[in-house]
Every structure is written in C-alpha cells, then in structure tokens.
Amino acid sequence: MAPPADANANANVEQKVLQYEAFLDEVLRRDLQKVMEQRDQVYEKISQYLQLKNTIQSLQEAGSQQLKTDVDLGCNFYVQAEIEDSSRILVSVGFGFFVEMTHDEALRFVEKKTNQLTAFTEQLTKDSAKIKAHIRMVLEGLRGLQGLTDLPEARRRDIF
C-alpha cells in the first residue's frame, strides 16, 4: 500500500525547508560575514591613511626640519628619537614596499589611495546589500513553504 499523498507532500516540503536552511546558513550568512569583515579591514586601512595625513599636516605646520619623537620598538617599548630632516618620509605603498616622498607627494598619494579604498568600500556595501536581499528572499521562501504568516511591521527586526 502506497503512503498517502499528504505524507509525500509534507516530506517534500520538509526536504525543501532543510535545503533552504542549509543554503542560508552555509552559504549566504558566511558570504555576508566575509564581505563585512573585508569592509572592516578596508575601513581600518582608510583610518591609517587619514592618520598619516594628519601627521604630515602637523609636520608641515611645525615647519621645523628637526623633530623629536618617541618610537615604538615593539611590545610597547618606546625610545626617544631625533630626526634631523623631516622633509621627506617613507610611505608604505603595499606589498611591503616603502617609497620616499616629500610631504606634498605623500598627501597626494594618501588622497588617491583613500579615494580608491572608499570606492572599494562602496562596492562591498552594495555586495552586502545584495546578500542581505538574497537572505530575505530565502526567508520569505521558507515562510511560504511552511505556511507561516508574516510578522506585523512593528515586530520585525533587521537581519544583521
């Protein structure tokens, strides 16, 4: 005797629900987390470049070629250092390379680099919005499969 059609339909729905939930947890949420972490790293780089910009501007305002500062040797162990000529600085341009630049050259480089990184963060933000939309779509599909009604607008909360 064959199982009733209702039992097959319920088993089919349960299988689909499990597949959607697995896709949601294993793919979409993981992808969203990766994009958000990558965006946070880019924001950190932008912050470092803006800090460099502020330091260069402070050096320009001081006007003195000679500079006394504290240098971190590692593990928060500082020593005093004296810089005889602060008109040129070394700027990290990536991949472990440093380029000697004047203050004006460094400021132009920082401006271009922060513009580039800002454009990249905007793209990452768009990517995260797409992933959130996919998550919402999967959640709506699950709600439809399970025959659940939507929450009232007042009880809804953001996905992340």
CATH numbers and ranges of domains, the chain: 8-145 (1.10.287.370)
Helices (H) and strands (E) in the chain, counts: 3, 4
- Residue 156: the pLDDT is 56
158: pLDDT strictly greater than 70: no
Reading the block at residue 24, the tokens are 């949601």
Specify the pTM. Answer: 0.73
Rounded CA separation 99/102 (Å): 10
Rounded to 5 degrees, φ, ψ at 67 are -145, 140
Q: Distances from the Cα of 45 to the Cαs of 57, 67, 100, 153, in angstroms?
A: 19, 26, 20, 38
Q: How confident is the model at residue 13 (pLDDT cuts 50, 70, 90)?
A: confident
64: pLDDT strictly greater than 80: no
Q: Which amino acid is at 134?
A: H
Rounded CA separation 127/35 (Å): 7
78-137 pLDDT, tens digit each: 999 998 888 889 998 889 999 999 999 999 999 999 999 999 999 999 999 999 999 888
- Count Cβ atoms within 10 A of the Cβ of residue 32 and give its class: 0-12 exposed, 13-18 middle, 19 or more buried: buried
Judge contact between 20 and 138, C-beta under 8 A.
Answer: yes
Judge contact between 143 and 156, C-beta under 8 A.
Answer: no
- Residue 144: the pLDDT is 80
21-41 pLDDT, tens digit each: 888 888 889 999 999 999 999
62: pLDDT strictly greater than 90: no
